[in-house]
Amino acid sequence: MTNIDFSPLYRSFIGFDHLASLMDAAAKNGKQTSFPPYNIELLSEDNYRITMAVAGFVEEELDIEFANNHLIVTGKKAEKAEEAKFLYRGIAERNFQRKFQLGEHVKVIGANLEHGMLNIELQREIPEALKPRKIAIGNSALLEATSAE
């Protein structure tokens, strides 16, 4: 199995490396096959792309499902009436299911299939209540209320 270097994800998520750990664990899951091969790209601080090589598959044969922080990509080849006789078969056109466990606040924003490559766009959206906020030093409403009494 090809090893994927997740160090760029760890470098970008100081204190938030839970996402990178989950993706790393998903990649090392012993039950999954290495088909189809895929890349995980860090596009910006909060945007990612999973690219899967799905040569021979058309959109109707691919299914992408996202629920409970799990992304499941399934490919099912349509039944052919007559099986071809191959002298050599190097292009895998077998059914597959690839699972990714995504971190909290990561959602799938889109997917497209182009030239045999399936691109799945991901975005991390932290709710406003969890985002860091600037705290002004000085005039505190609590201090002003107690000093006025």
Residue span of the structural domain in which 60 resides: 7-124
- pLDDT at position 112 is 93
Overall average pLDDT of the 109-128 stretch = 89
What are the percentages of helix, strand and coil residues in the chain, rounded to 5? 20, 35, 45
Instruction: Report residue 80 as tokens.
Output: 């052919």
CA–CA gap between residue 101 and residue 104 (Å, rounded):
10
Is 60 within a domain?
yes
Task: List the CATH number of the domain containing 96.
Answer: 2.60.40.790
CA 126, 132, 133 angle in degrees (round to 5)?
130
- pLDDT at position 20 is 61
Is 29 within a domain?
yes
Location of structure tokens 């996402």: 19
Is 137 within a domain?
no
- The answer to whether 120 and 108 have CB atoms below 8 angstroms apart is yes
**Cβ neighbours of residue 90 under 8 Å, at least 6 residues apart?**
none
- pLDDT at position 15 is 47
Instruction: Please choose, from the candidates 53, 52, 48, 51, the residue with its C-alpha nearest in 3D space to the C-alpha of residue 19.
Output: 48
Is 49 within a domain?
yes
Is 72 within a domain?
yes
Specify the range with the lowest mean pLDDT, choosing from 2-16, 21-35, 66-80, 104-118: 2-16
9 pLDDT higher than 60: no
